[in-house]
Chain A
Amino acid sequence: MDGYHFYFAPIWAALPDIYEATGVAALVAVTSMALALAIGTMAALAAEYGGHRVKVLVAVYVEAMRNSPSLVKMYFIFLGLPSLGLFPSPFWSGVIALALHNGGYVTEIVRGGLAAVNRTEVQAAASLGFGWLDTQRSIVLPQALRYALPSLTNVGVEIIKDTSFTSALAVKELFYLMTALVSSTLRSFEILIVFAGIYFAMTTLFAVAMKLVELRTPWR
């Protein structure tokens, strides 16, 4: 193997496909992140304020999510739900699986954030005549999520990386295209460099952007 010749031409030819696949991966990531944040925040609030049964339910949800791979949930939704007469699309199977899986982690993180908010804040809000929803929306959650932000960023990075699993459901995202390109062009090393680079750029840009948000969001 003297003198490896890099040959990127087939990859440049596939540039429009790569562009599109990056878009799909980003869409899967952003949708899953939004849903995971919504699920996690609601579950955390439910565990914080709900009765005993709700607490147990949230605990079961969290353990069911974080003790198995997200791929298992993907296959469960995509291959399992059809037995019940539900036929989710590959895209939504992937997104919902990622959202539920990471929602379990978000629940734990937001719970930590809620615990960090001073109890007197809630009492002060109540004395000012704030209802429960207003207290949460404008007093407790902004602070709790600010505490949670660094950990939430980590979950976001995991979600971006986990979008690669949706290729198992034939969602045409980056890893799917990567394997397709390897079998059609056989330039595995060049393809690895380019695609690893794209993933790396996505996770790094996301982490840096979140760090900026973190720095620019004042503590209240």
Chain B
Amino acid sequence: MQRIGSLVPLLPLLVKGIGVTLLLAGLSIGFGFVFGLLLGSLYAWCGRLVRSLLFLLVTIVRGVPVVVQVFAVFFVLPAYGIKFSAVTSAAIALTLFASFTIMEIVRGGIEAVPRAQFQAALSLGFSNIGAMTTVVLPQAMRSMTPSLVNQAVFMVKATSVVSLFGVTEFLYVAKEQIERTLMGFEIMAIVWVAYTLICYPLTALGRWSEARLKVRGQTALASAGL
């Protein structure tokens, strides 16, 4: 019981760590979404050269551990005189990773919208950008939502990687306190539960949107007499 009592003074530190974790997750999800939308639209739009370049990049990003990508931003960029603070470097690395994985989701979403929609919009006098933003993307968003939510969960978890580079996010703070207090079991249990409390609502949202999408998709097909 005394051990539990001595955990209380650690809580403010851990909460601060959670703040950094949420900040990194928020930044990488937010910017990743914006860049992912841009890259995904670029992919749908551009010719073979840009496509193969983007495909190559996304294959590399997905085939190499996130740790190695964070490493690249932390150790390779400074060698060229580009220096950032630890948190900024972490945010950049995670954003890069998020952008390319979200690009894949956006690409899939856009490809799922029949091309005729785009052509019909053009024939109604929409500009390229107008057809994309008002006709194609809103429809694509619907099929993309579950994957995007899952990607958000993935990003929250992926922020833990930067603890290996000394960024004082949740897991790093927790490990520091374990080294100080030797209460590994209690502190890691708290960390585990806290991550679950952060991620579970998102996971549930993902599942809910998936189920809703499926049902609506079926009724749409049924009403079309298919």
A interface, CB within 8 angstroms of B: 1, 63-64, 66-73, 75-76, 79-84, 157, 161-165, 167-168, 175, 178-179, 182, 188-189, 192, 195-196, 199-200, 203-204
Interface residue from B164, B171, B185, B195 paired with A67 (Cβ < 8 Å)? B195
Q: Chain B 187-198, CB within 8 Å of chain A: the 1/0 string?
A: 111011001101
Whose C-beta in chain B lies nearest to the C-beta of A154?
B62
Looking at B44-52, B67-75, B103-111, B218-226, the stretch in contact with chain A turns out to be: B67-75
Does A80 lie within 8 Å of B75, measured CB to CB?
Answer: no
Does B158 lie within 8 Å of A69, measured CB to CB?
Answer: yes
Does A67 lie within 8 Å of B199, measured CB to CB?
Answer: yes
Whose C-beta in chain B lies nearest to the C-beta of A179?
B71
Interface centre among B178, B183, B186, B191 (most CB of A within 10 A): B191
Interface residue from A66, A72, A179, A188 paired with B76 (Cβ < 8 Å)? A188
Does A175 lie within 8 Å of B68, measured CB to CB?
Answer: yes
In whole angstroms, how far apart are the Cα atoms of A170 and B196 in the complex?
26
Does A82 lie within 8 Å of B184, measured CB to CB?
Answer: yes
Interface of B is mostly: helix
Shortest 7 CB-CB distances between A and B: which pairs? A79-B184, A83-B185, A68-B195, A67-B199, A69-B160, A76-B188, A161-B65
Interface residues of B, CB < 8 Å — how many?
42
Closest Cβ of chain A to B60, distance in Å, is 7
**B64 in the interface, Cβ–Cβ < 8 Å?**
yes
In whole angstroms, how far apart are the Cα atoms of A149 and B128 in the complex?
40
**B153 in the interface, Cβ–Cβ < 8 Å?**
yes
Closest Cβ of chain A to B169, distance in Å, is 11
**B203 in the interface, Cβ–Cβ < 8 Å?**
yes
Q: Can you list 27 residue pairs at the A/B interface with Cβ under 8 Å?
A: A1-B81, A64-B192, A66-B203, A67-B203, A68-B191, A68-B192, A68-B195, A68-B199, A69-B157, A69-B161, A71-B171, A72-B160, A72-B171, A76-B188, A80-B185, A81-B184, A82-B185, A83-B182, A83-B184, A157-B62, A165-B164, A175-B71, A178-B68, A192-B72, A196-B68, A199-B65, A200-B60
